[in-house]
Amino acid sequence: MTRTRLLASTLVATTLIGGSLLPSTLGAQDGTGIGSVGSLRLIGEQQLANDLLVDETLVGGLSGLDYDADADSWIVLSDDRSDEAPARFYGATFAYDDTAFTGVELTGATTLLQEDGEPFPNADAGGNIPDPESIRIDPQTGNYFWTSEGSQELGIDPGVYVTEPDGTFVASQPVDEIFAADPNGETGIRNNGAFEGLTFAPGGESYFVSAESPLFQDGENATGEAGSVNRITQYDRDGNVLAQYAYEADAVPNVGEGALFFVNGITEILAVSETTMLVLERGTVQAADETYSNNVRLYEIDLTGATDVSAIDALVGAEYTPVSKRLVEEFDGSDFTVDNLETLAFGPVLESGNPSLVIGSDNNFSDTQITQFLVFEVLPGDARATPAAGTPGAGTPAAGTPAVGTPAGGTPVVEVGTGQDQDVDNATPASTPEA
């Protein structure tokens, strides 16, 4: 395919309230911004049981999440490669307000269909094997855009697909050929390190896709001593490349002596304004004793002043300015259990007038991991301001506000599911408080 680069500028109206850009409503990234994210206040946590069944499908691998403000409902994408069941997403409802997060209900499973109307195949069947990772509601049409990571080992290119809410195939978007899978591992995507993040720009005239790991020609994966450089690409609605940016991911945190496995990369992105977005960066380490730990950081990045690297085929040795990044919060497991956090979406505006934010984990269909959802209140801030002494700044809750890891009102963790195919309308959560 031909690499296409267009120069474009999209202006979208927002509303200035009290010096900050605040949303009239959020969800489906509807063309309003919140200016800047200062910090987060944890409202509560919910977990789903690892043996939960919905519509005779095993719930797990939840890697994508978005909120439909019009329907006041959610969609949740599984990264099942059609192994446990055909590739699918779930409808969901989340019950929370400013003070408590009281429940999650999955309302049904919808199969993602190919152009021929058939479900996506698994590895045994062969063909276009999916690896779904992120899903967003198109603010202009209401259709769903979702990413598939592809497979470097199998020579399957990553993709961006469009589907109707009932799972019917609409389109396969063009993808910059620089991401093409090379089984020889010389250029292109790394295995399990491709299109992990997706977000629409406000108004939906363009969308961004992030790679979890660096391309082979852009340098090595992150280590305990050095980070990596990943690409975030902006496409117009027809799949033409508008711009591409270099993101410097951190070194892998907490890599101890004898570590058996470690990785750090971008697991999701979420637009805040025309030039800023949240980036979820997740580091995972398997220690010498075979136990796993996760360290997840939420950054706000600014594209202003960053080099458009879409014409640079290899970033190693190239001159460019990466996006700037500012730490909003770090989830290191010291306050509450932190699993493999991969989903990130704004939800309804809270009674306080601030947006809500939901972050969730992918349990990898593993009995040793959990599916968790964390709900936060977003406390606005000015990314360009330097807090004065004693002033709450990035990552610091305002005075009198519960810190991250302290649910308002002492909300307990609740696990939902019994291992039977749930009558989701009548499921009864089992209370299982957890640190």
DSSP 294-317: EEEEEEEEE-TT----TT-S--TT
According to DSSP, the residues that pair with 57 across neighbouring strands are: 54
**C-alpha–C-alpha distance, residues 38 and 327, integer Å:** 9
The string of pLDDT tens digits covering residues 172-205 is 999 999 999 999 999 999 999 999 999 999 999 9
Tokens (6 digits) for 175: 């993808």
**C-alpha–C-alpha distance, residues 70 and 417, integer Å:** 28
**C-alpha–C-alpha distance, residues 259 and 253, integer Å:** 12
**C-alpha–C-alpha distance, residues 127 and 124, integer Å:** 9
**Which amino acid is present at 148?**
S
Predicted local distance difference test score (pLDDT) of residue 382: 58
Positions in the chain short of pLDDT 50: 1-32, 383-414, 416-435
**C-alpha–C-alpha distance, residues 160 and 338, integer Å:** 29
According to DSSP, the residues that pair with 271 across neighbouring strands are: 277
Predicted local distance difference test score (pLDDT) of residue 383: 35
Question: DSSP class of residue 425?
Answer: T
Q: What is the dihedral of CA 236, 195, 161, 374, to 10 degrees?
A: -100
**C-alpha–C-alpha distance, residues 419 and 50, integer Å:** 8
Predicted local distance difference test score (pLDDT) of residue 403: 41
**C-alpha–C-alpha distance, residues 19 and 219, integer Å:** 41
Give the closest residue to 235 by CA, choosing from 213, 275, 204, 270. 204
What is the end-to-end Cα distance of the chain in Å, rounded? Answer: 50
* Locus of tokens 């001159």: 319
Tokens (6 digits) for 237: 């609605």
Cβ burial, residue 237 (10 Å; 0-12/13-18/19+)? middle
DSSP 213-226: S--GGG-PPP-SS-
What are the φ/ψ torsions at residue 131 (nearest 5 degrees)?
-140, 75
Query: CB–CB of 335/403 below 8 Å?
Result: yes
Q: What is the dihedral of CA 182, 186, 191, 197, to 10 degrees?
A: -90
Residues 69, 71, 73, 76, CA torsion sign:
negative
Predicted local distance difference test score (pLDDT) of residue 34: 67
Query: CB–CB of 325/261 below 8 Å?
Result: no
* Sequence-separated (6 or more) residues with CB below 8 Å from residue 240: 4, 5, 6, 174
**Which amino acid is present at 351?**
E
The Cβ of residue 411 has, within 10 Å, a number of other Cβ atoms equal to 21
Tokens (6 digits) for 100: 């408590």
Question: Which CATH architecture describes the domain 16-431?
Answer: 6 Propeller (2.120)
Give the distance, in angstroms, between the CA of residue 74 and the centroid of all CA atoms in the same chain: 14
The Cβ of residue 431 has, within 10 Å, a number of other Cβ atoms equal to 8
